[in-house]
Homo-oligomer: A and B are copies of this chain.
């Protein structure tokens, strides 16, 4: 039987207040604000728990910390190459993308992810151009 713990509650409450695509560390920092004694593992375990329940989706980001996405449906992401933050891309999901593969070489394809690279508006105005 699953239990309602204060910690679990706070993780979800904080999550809703934070920007989407927060890292475990950002979530931990924010949760700590309301419950300083909480353990980092508890945050990780609860994030995993929400993922298992389908209320959250962990997006593994190449080369950096994973982020937690409150939108659980398939969609694409951009990573800002300056600040590393992750944003949603305003683009239709392409379920048929697997059909563009010429020869599957015996593979059974089950899905795909697209990660765009770019520079976010904040970083464009803040940084030296390039």
- Give the B-binding residues of A (Cβ under 8 A): 59-63, 66, 78, 80-81, 87, 89-92, 97-98, 100-121, 124
**B-side contacts of A97, CB under 8 Å:** 114
Copies of this chain per assembly: 2
- Contacts A107-B120, A112-B114 aside, 13 further interface pairs with beta carbons under 8 A come to A62-B62, A78-B107, A90-B104, A91-B100, A92-B100, A106-B120, A107-B118, A108-B118, A109-B118, A110-B118, A110-B119, A111-B117, A114-B114
Would you give the shortest CB distance from A87 to chain B, in whole angstroms?
7
**B-side contacts of A119, CB under 8 Å:** 107-108, 110
Would you give the shortest CB distance from A101 to chain B, in whole angstroms?
5
**B-side contacts of A107, CB under 8 Å:** 78, 80, 87, 118-121
Q: Are the C-beta atoms of B106 and A81 separated by less than 8 Å?
A: no
Residue of B nearest to A101 (CB): B91
Residue of B nearest to A121 (CB): B106
